[in-house]
Amino acid sequence: MTERRLTPRGQQRREQLTAAATRLFAKNGYHGTSVADIVDELGVGKGVFYWYFASKEELLVALLHETTLGLRRAQAQAIAEEPSPLRRIELGIRASVAYWWANRDRYTLFSFAAIDEAFRPALVIGRQTAIDDTAAHLKAGIVAGQVKDLDPLFLAYGIYGVVTQFIAVFLAAQDASPHEVADAAVAFCLDGIRVD
Amino acid sequence: MTERRLTPRGQQRREQLTAAATRLFAKNGYHGTSVADIVDELGVGKGVFYWYFASKEELLVALLHETTLGLRRAQAQAIAEEPSPLRRIELGIRASVAYWWANRDRYTLFSFAAIDEAFRPALVIGRQTAIDDTAAHLKAGIVAGQVKDLDPLFLAYGIYGVVTQFIAVFLAAQDASPHEVADAAVAFCLDGIRVD
Amino acid sequence: MTERRLTPRGQQRREQLTAAATRLFAKNGYHGTSVADIVDELGVGKGVFYWYFASKEELLVALLHETTLGLRRAQAQAIAEEPSPLRRIELGIRASVAYWWANRDRYTLFSFAAIDEAFRPALVIGRQTAIDDTAAHLKAGIVAGQVKDLDPLFLAYGIYGVVTQFIAVFLAAQDASPHEVADAAVAFCLDGIRVD
Amino acid sequence: MTERRLTPRGQQRREQLTAAATRLFAKNGYHGTSVADIVDELGVGKGVFYWYFASKEELLVALLHETTLGLRRAQAQAIAEEPSPLRRIELGIRASVAYWWANRDRYTLFSFAAIDEAFRPALVIGRQTAIDDTAAHLKAGIVAGQVKDLDPLFLAYGIYGVVTQFIAVFLAAQDASPHEVADAAVAFCLDGIRVD
DNA sequence: TATGAATGAGTCTTCATTCAT
DNA sequence: AATGAATGAAGACTCATTCAT
């Protein structure tokens, strides 16, 4: 899509569209949501959608990027002032849980992305970034003697998996507070690797 | 679908269909695979599909159940003779990795299931079973003094997440041997909870 | 279909098939009933159907003919000994009501036949026969001075219409006895044309 | 179907569709007419149909309702100024014949409706209304001493049957003028019930 | 910017009929 | 006579996308 310069009103419309799409995708899935559904939600014509997005696909990609970016921003902000590598990991985990809790609708978006060639990149990049970030902290932690001397990449994969799974299960369950979930994830991830 | 009594030839056809479908679903996704694609793969008419399955949906559900069952059978077999709770968990993890390695095409099946109301049950049941199994071993491990005294359900969720994620990443990467992956998963999961 | 000489057992099979078909057609319509439905009703394979009928269409035509024939036979029998033309009409009407009451499932068969070119003949012939029969009685009645001197064909159409409609409505209603219906039909049809 | 607000052009398209459908249904039956046939008649894409109707079924229901309504309106208009009950019935019959003559294509629509559960209501309601209307006039006629003192509902059923049948036969025959048919129907229906 | 309307390829599914055994 | 299996054309319906206004 040729980058379009949007008026403030246009900006707002675009956001309404992404919001509606996110809601519907979360409820009915990407394939279960039609462009018609999205514009009906706003009560506007179909032309509106194609004024702001080149295609339905592009919308999802944009959504994935936004989300990935938002998550990373939240993590960065959370650890900004923290020097200890182990604490950085912990704060990162807590920030992740909090972010997904606040954006639970967006969590499912990544399910469709897992298979479709058109979306996988947006997903893989996000995951790799998160893992690399964690691995860097782990490496620093090993150097600092805070973390056992294991392959940091493997550990990072593990942490990513634990956090992801805890979020998935507890978002679905909807009966645990984000704090409890974060505590559990942190405990599980760090108890095993911390040097006592 | 009214249960159909199948001749050996029919049995074989049904298996050919599920095999072709699994392959195509893995490559193009559930929504990206049409019934036409599946029957074309076997070079048979479209009616054949509907002779064996009531719908495309039913096929996926059947596939999910079969897979869930197969995994559980593999785990059960692996731990059959092992009395130690901690070792049972370890053997279960290794069996899971091996199973998914041998059935990598089926791994993606669960992605679609995550969103669609029609499939979620098949998925949730499988996950819950796996988690409950693990939790039971953990409880036994705690009683036996092998495992730290933490909430076994929480631990089980964590273990499930780690294993799932390790599998996801490494199946995609395709450059690590299942043994290495299993080792890493076991290390990550058990080091933190084991009583030294 | 090449006329097939049927064994007693074959004869019986054929009747089972027509019975099942009649029942299903009455419930779900001709288009709403598949050959599979019919044979499933008997728990036999699809080949059986095509052993006895060349096609689904042929089955319906056969059913229509049988029914038309049966009705005419019932009427003929009812009036056999009656010399008075007016009484013959009355007995014919009563026989019709009784016949349709006993064969209500077959009544609907004629609905589909009304439009489809393939079936119309079977229907039109039956109707024309009935009307001609009545018209003949009316003519005799006029000659005998029992009936007003009006166009017998017109009167016959009217009588056919009244009887048909009474049957349609009361078969659907299912709360009037066939006797009452017959009485009403007779009264309506004959009061107007009888010479006092 | 969510009520759609139509532009004049849309209004026209919708009417073109119903007209084409009526024509084709009359010729080939409801089941013998595909949505493709209908849109091909207008030379438009298949989507057009579904822009105006939720389904083929809905189209037929709409058609049935329109027709029922049109008939009733025609009858109401015909008897508006007539005070005599007997004359009201007569004018109603004549209006019916005229209406069906002018809308012969729509007459067959009611054949399919007779069997299909989805359509029966539209049909039954129309019939009941017509019968109730007639019964009311008959009752008034009885009170006024114009009509013999018989069950008005029974008489109404009979009249409905006669008129329907006359129309059916003569629409098919296509060689009698609507006036003659109306005369015959009126004579048959009223001669028998009129108080001399 | 926005709308109602239109496109048409593509989807799932049905079903009368045939056939090998 | 009978069966399970297969065929494949045909049908209803969907939906991303385009376009005239």
Based on the fold, state whether residues A97 and A182 are members of the same structural domain: yes
**Chain C interface disruption, residue of D106, D154, D193, most C CBs within 10 A:** D154
Closest partner residue to C188 (CB to CB) among D28, D155, D163 is D155
Based on the fold, state whether residues B103 and B185 are members of the same structural domain: yes
Based on the fold, state whether residues C187 and C147 are members of the same structural domain: yes
Residue A114 is predicted with a pLDDT of 78
Residue C4 is predicted with a pLDDT of 60
Q: Identify whether the C-beta of residue D5 lies closer than 8 Å to the C-beta of residue D19.
A: no
User: Which one, of B117, B147, B118, lies nearest residue B134 by Cα?
Assistant: B147
- Contact call for D161 and C162, based on CB within 8 A: yes
D38 touches strand E (CB under 7 A): no
How many Å apart are CA B32 and CA D4, to the nearest integer? 32
- Helices B178-191 and A152-173 cross at an angle (nearest 10°) of 70
Q: How far is C76 from chain D (nearest CA, A)?
A: 23
C-alpha distances in Å from residue B158, one per residue of A164, B72, B130, C52: 9, 18, 12, 65
Based on the fold, state whether residues C22 and C95 are members of the same structural domain: no
∠ CA C130-C135-C137 to the nearest 5 degrees? 100
How many Å apart are CA D162 and CA C192, to the nearest integer? 13
Closest partner residue to B160 (CB to CB) among A165, A190, A191 is A165
Measured in whole angstroms, how far is the alpha carbon of residue A16 from the centre of its chain? 20
Measured CA C7 to C1' F1 distance, in angstroms: 11
B132 against A176, higher pLDDT:
B132
Residue A33 is predicted with a pLDDT of 95
A169 against D185, higher pLDDT:
D185
Measured CA A50 to C1' F17 distance, in angstroms: 9
The answer to whether position D196 is within a domain reads: no
Q: Identify whether the C-beta of residue A164 lies closer than 8 Å to the C-beta of residue B165.
A: yes
Mean pLDDT value of segment D95-106: 94
Confidence bin at A111 (pLDDT 50/70/90):
confident
Mean pLDDT of chain C: 90
Which amino acid would we find at residue C56? K
Mean pLDDT value of segment C125-140: 94
Helix (H) or strand (E) holding C141: helix C120-143
The domain total for chain A is 2
Residue A42 is predicted with a pLDDT of 95
Mean pLDDT of chain B: 90
The answer to whether position A196 is within a domain reads: no
The answer to whether position D33 is within a domain reads: yes
Structure-block tokens of residue D151? 């069950």
- Measured to protein CB atoms, the chain F nucleotides within 7 Å are 1-20
Which amino acid would we find at residue A62? A
Residue B50 is predicted with a pLDDT of 97
pLDDT digits over B84-97, tens only? 999 999 999 999 99
How many Å apart are CA C191 and CA C11, to the nearest integer? 46
Residues of A in contact with B161 (CB under 8 A): 161-166, 168-169
Phi, psi of A80 (to 5 degrees): -45, -45
Residue B154 is predicted with a pLDDT of 84
Based on the fold, state whether residues D81 and D107 are members of the same structural domain: yes
Structure-block tokens of residue A67? 């989300």
A154 against C54, higher pLDDT:
C54
D3 touches strand E (CB under 7 A): no
D127 against C171, higher pLDDT:
D127
How many Å apart are CA B2 and CA A76, to the nearest integer? 56
Measured CA B36 to C1' E8 distance, in angstroms: 19
Does the pLDDT value for residue B2 go beyond 70?
no
Residue B1 is predicted with a pLDDT of 54
Does the pLDDT value for residue A2 go beyond 60?
no
User: Which one, of B100, B96, B89, lies nearest residue B144 by Cα?
Assistant: B89
- Measured to protein CB atoms, the chain E nucleotides within 7 Å are 1-20
Based on the fold, state whether residues B77 and B139 are members of the same structural domain: yes
- Helices B152-173 and B120-143 cross at an angle (nearest 10°) of 120
- Contact call for C158 and D150, based on CB within 8 A: no
User: Which one, of C192, C188, C183, C18, lies nearest residue C98 by Cα?
Assistant: C183
The answer to whether position B196 is within a domain reads: no
Reduced 3-state DSSP string for D133-159: HHHHHHHHHHHCCCECCCCHHHHHHHH
Confidence bin at A68 (pLDDT 50/70/90):
very high
Q: What is the DSSP string of D77-111?
A: HHHTT---HHHHHHHHHHHHHHHHHHTHHHHTHHH
How many Å apart are CA A72 and CA C118, to the nearest integer? 71
- Helices D85-102 and D178-191 cross at an angle (nearest 10°) of 150
User: Which one, of A187, D114, A114, lies nearest residue C28 by Cα?
Assistant: D114
**SS3 category, D76:** helix
Based on the fold, state whether residues A77 and A31 are members of the same structural domain: no
Mention every residue, 6+ apart, whose C-beta is less than 8 A from residue D31. Answer: C31, D112
Measured CA C158 to C1' E21 distance, in angstroms: 58
Confidence bin at D131 (pLDDT 50/70/90):
very high
Q: What does the DSSP 8-state code read for residue C7?
A: P
How many Å apart are CA A116 and CA A122, to the nearest integer? 11
Mean pLDDT value of segment C17-21: 96
C-alpha distances in Å from residue A1, one per residue of A5, A44, A46, A53, B65: 12, 21, 17, 7, 42
pLDDT digits over C135-163, tens only? 999 999 999 999 999 889 888 988 988 88
∠ CA B153-B156-B158 to the nearest 5 degrees? 115
Residue appearing with tokens 């438009």? D44
B120 touches strand E (CB under 7 A): no
- Contact call for B188 and A155, based on CB within 8 A: yes
Q: How far is D77 from chain C (nearest CA, A)?
A: 26
Does the pLDDT value for residue B164 go beyond 80?
yes
- Least confident range of B170-179, C187-196, D76-85: B170-179
- Contact call for C29 and D166, based on CB within 8 A: no
The answer to whether position A10 is within a domain reads: yes
A54, A79, A94 — which closes off a domain?
A: A54
- Least confident range of A153-167, C20-34, C76-90: A153-167
Measured in whole angstroms, how far is the alpha carbon of residue D5 from the centre of its chain? 27
Mention every residue, 6+ apart, whose C-beta is less than 8 A from residue C132. Answer: C156
Residue B100 is predicted with a pLDDT of 94
The nucleotide minimizing the C1' distance to residue B4's CA is: F4
Structure-block tokens of residue A111? 């399910």
pLDDT digits over C73-94, tens only? 999 999 999 999 999 999 999 9
| Residues of chain D above pLDDT 90, percent | 64
B16, B32, B54 — which closes off a domain?
A: B54
C:D CB pairs within 8 Å: 96
The nucleotide minimizing the C1' distance to residue C48's CA is: F2
Residue A4 is predicted with a pLDDT of 60
The nucleotide minimizing the C1' distance to residue C7's CA is: F1
Based on the fold, state whether residues A38 and A127 are members of the same structural domain: no
Based on the fold, state whether residues B26 and B113 are members of the same structural domain: no
Residue C3 is predicted with a pLDDT of 54
- The CATH number of residue D47's host domain is 1.10.10.60
Residue D1 is predicted with a pLDDT of 54
Containing structural domain, residue D45:
1-54
pLDDT digits over B44-96, tens only? 999 999 999 999 999 999 999 999 999 999 999 999 999 999 999 999 999 99
The answer to whether position C159 is within a domain reads: yes
Whether pTM > 0.85 for this model: the answer is yes
Based on the fold, state whether residues C121 and C167 are members of the same structural domain: yes
The answer to whether position D85 is within a domain reads: yes
Closest partner residue to D157 (CB to CB) among C32, C160, C166 is C166
B50 touches strand E (CB under 7 A): yes
Does the pLDDT value for residue D195 go beyond 90?
no
Q: CA-CA-CA-CA torsion for D73, D78, D84, D89, nearest 10 degrees?
A: -70
How many Å apart are CA A40 and CA C59, to the nearest integer? 49
Does the pLDDT value for residue C2 go beyond 70?
no
C-alpha distances in Å from residue B2, one per residue of B18, B51, C37, D160: 18, 11, 13, 46
How many Å apart are CA B128 and CA B137, to the nearest integer? 14
The answer to whether position B168 is within a domain reads: yes
Does the pLDDT value for residue A1 go beyond 50?
no
Q: Identify whether the C-beta of residue C155 lies closer than 8 Å to the C-beta of residue C146.
A: no
Does the pLDDT value for residue A117 go beyond 90?
no
Q: How far apart are the first and last CA of chain B?
A: 54
Based on the fold, state whether residues A34 and A83 are members of the same structural domain: no
B7 touches strand F (CB under 7 A): yes
B110 against C68, higher pLDDT:
C68
C54, C71, C93 — which closes off a domain?
A: C54
How many Å apart are CA B137 and CA C39, to the nearest integer? 53
Residue C1 is predicted with a pLDDT of 47
Mean pLDDT of chain A: 89
Residue appearing with tokens 């009126």? D186
Mean pLDDT value of segment D36-64: 96
| Residues of chain C above pLDDT 90, percent | 62
User: Which one, of D133, D137, D154, D155, lies nearest residue D146 by Cα?
Assistant: D137
Confidence bin at A3 (pLDDT 50/70/90):
low
B151: nearest CA in chain A?
A: A184
Based on the fold, state whether residues D29 and D77 are members of the same structural domain: no
- The CATH number of residue D92's host domain is 1.10.357.10
Confidence bin at B3 (pLDDT 50/70/90):
low
